[in-house]
């Protein structure tokens, strides 16, 4: 069964909009695990517009499943990661002013840079994943960095699926097959939802983990978080 890691960034966005501590990011992390999710994901950014660096430290003690911290590996981010030592760090090439992640790594041009960071993560017993576009060359480049996993950037699949174009899954399936051949674990994330997750999961061989935040939190506003997480788990079987 593919694991579900819930990204709780949007809980922090709501909190920050009003100030104070409501809704509680810590309680959200506790609850998503209690409701059956197999992991908690956060993606702190330098301006701390949603998840704050302090949140990352505060969440660590209440993790009973897996802890995935995503972000651009700038100095302050890496310092935090090496102090917290999460289960997994997902390296994402975010621009400082990006609203959300919008591209994967060029793993060929950035091979040396990524390899150095991944080596340090491994010395700290942190599993590594590289955020990549569904391109075979980028998968092969990722394998050369020594990373444990890749995370397939799924925005284009989600857009095309909404338009009825199910053939848009093919590059993702092809990349998953190649990743399996290269011994890379496969994660996926970005715009996955209750509408498209089952189809995606069925077509990605050996998909280990999906990280879902925006859609899951939006769906939870209408259906309730416990119910929504249960639906995801059922679709990921």
Q: Write out the catalytic residue numbers.
A: 43, 70, 190
Integer Cα distance of 204 and 209 in angstroms = 11
Q: Which residues does residue 3 pair with via DSSP β-bridges, in sequence order?
A: 209
Task: Please give the structure tokens belonging to residue 174.
Answer: 């092809």
With the C-alpha atoms ordered 167, 182, 106, 67, is the resulting torsion angle positive or negative? positive
CB neighbour class for 150 (10 Å; exposed up to 12, middle 13-18, buried from 19): buried
Q: Are 2 and 201 in contact (CB under 8 A)?
A: yes
Integer Cα distance of 11 and 153 in angstroms = 22
**Alpha helix locations (H) across the chain?**
9-18, 25-34, 53-59, 75-84, 111-123, 136-145, 155-162, 170-181, 197-202, 214-223, 225-235
DSSP-derived 3-state class of residue 180? helix
């Amino acid at each position: 069964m593919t694991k579900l890691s819930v990204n709780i960034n949007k809980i922090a966005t709501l909190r920050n909009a009003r100030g104070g501590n409501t809704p509680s990011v810590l309680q959200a992390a506790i609850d998503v695990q209690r409701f059956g999710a197999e992991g908690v994901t956060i993606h702190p950014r330098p301006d701390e517009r949603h998840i704050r660096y302090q949140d990352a430290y505060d969440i660590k003690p209440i993790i009973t499943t897996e802890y995935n911290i995503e972000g651009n590996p700038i100095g302050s981010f890496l310092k935090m990661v090496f102090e917290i030592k999460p289960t997994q760090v997902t390296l994402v090439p975010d621009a400082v002013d990006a609203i959300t992640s919008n591209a994967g790594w060029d793993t060929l041009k950035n091979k040396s840079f990524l390899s150095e960071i991944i080596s340090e993560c491994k010395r700290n017993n942190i599993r590594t994943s590289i955020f990549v576009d569904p391109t075979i060359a980028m998968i092969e480049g990722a394998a050369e960095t020594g990373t444990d996993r890749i995370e397939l950037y799924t925005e284009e699949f989600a857009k095309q699926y909404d338009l009825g174009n199910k053939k848009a899954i093919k590059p993702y399936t092809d990349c998953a097959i190649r990743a399996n051949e290269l011994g890379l674990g496969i994660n996926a994330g970005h715009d996955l939802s209750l509408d498209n997750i089952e189809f995606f999961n069925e077509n990605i061989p050996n998909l280990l983990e999906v990280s879902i935040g925006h859609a899951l939190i939006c769906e939870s506003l209408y259906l309730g978080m416990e119910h929504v997480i249960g639906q995801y788990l059922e679709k990921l079987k």
